[in-house]
Amino acid sequence: MTLLAALALQQANTIASSPWDLVLDATPVTKIILLVLACFSLFSWVMIFWKWSEFRTMRKSGDTFVAGMEAAAGLRDVYQTLTRLEESSYTRVFRRGVNFFTELRPTALRDDGHEAPGLSSAQLDTLRLVLEKELAEERDDMAHGLPWLAIIGSVSPLLGLMGTVVGVMNSFIGITTQGSANIAAVAPGIAEALITTVVGLAVAIPAVIAYNHYAAKLGLFTGELEGFASEFIGTLAREGRV
């Protein structure tokens, strides 16, 4: 009886009582997968807070830009407003358009827009291409980091599933070796296998949510820039410069 009690006590001591015990007692393959998932989680949260700060700053810059542009009555007022506003994606796109226009019409900021001839169709198309190029560059800058959130969101569950499959395989190998299929022999291995799935989902869910949220914000940001670029060309048309 004493020997049986000792064996029972030893078996109880080896049974994990918490998920953390499962991690500590996990196989090397499982620990490697959990380490990779931990690195993914840390990197994704750094990216999430970085993009949150970037889009927050961009929103403030957009509000300031809109307020400044609403007070501008013409091309000269637009140019003067751009020189006063803080550097942002909005000011860079507009400044690139104004600079290109003044290269085509060097006296554009000195005359009233009716004395000099307007832009030809080819020049106007070129101006649109210049604005689109600058807009695309700003969009690409704001999109930095988002693909990594998408990668982490899609790869993490697969890594967790791989760890689960490996853990289940080890459990069945253990059953074959011990010749026992009771719940006490199977449960620890299955529980260890499921840990990687849980961690993989815990890493993926915030990354996927953040990616979709920031992708939507990027779409709104791009739409605003396109609208402002069209408004710039509309300002030139109203003043008879095109």
Which amino acid is residue 213, in one-letter code?
H
Asked whether residue 193 carries a pLDDT value surpassing 70, the answer given is: yes
In angstroms, the CA 210 to CA 156 distance is 15
Give the pLDDT confidence score for residue 3 in this predicted structure: 38
Q: Closest by alpha carbon to 154, among 207, 225, 81, 196?
A: 207
Which residue would you say has higher pLDDT here, 202 or 24? 202
If phi over 0 gives left and psi between -120 and 50 gives alpha, with beta otherwise, what is residue 86? beta
The mean pLDDT value for 72-99 works out to 78
Asked whether residue 83 carries a pLDDT value surpassing 80, the answer given is: no
The mean pLDDT value for 208-218 works out to 95
pLDDT-derived band at 146 (thresholds 50, 70, 90) equals: very high
Give the pLDDT confidence score for residue 2 in this predicted structure: 47
In angstroms, the CA 83 to CA 57 distance is 19
Per residue in 14-71, pLDDT tens? 455 566 666 666 678 788 888 999 999 999 999 999 999 999 988 888 888 877 777 7
Mean pLDDT of the chain: 78
Give the pLDDT confidence score for residue 38 in this predicted structure: 93
Per residue in 154-181, pLDDT tens? 999 999 998 888 877 777 776 666 666 5
Dihedral sign (CA 211, 212, 217, 223): positive
Which segment, 119-123, 150-154, 221-225, is predicted with the most confidence on average? 150-154
Per residue in 104-132, pLDDT tens? 777 666 655 555 566 777 878 888 888 88
The mean pLDDT value for 74-92 works out to 77
Per the confidence metrics, is the pTM higher than 0.85? no
Asked whether residue 89 carries a pLDDT value surpassing 80, the answer given is: yes
Give the pLDDT confidence score for residue 111 in this predicted structure: 59
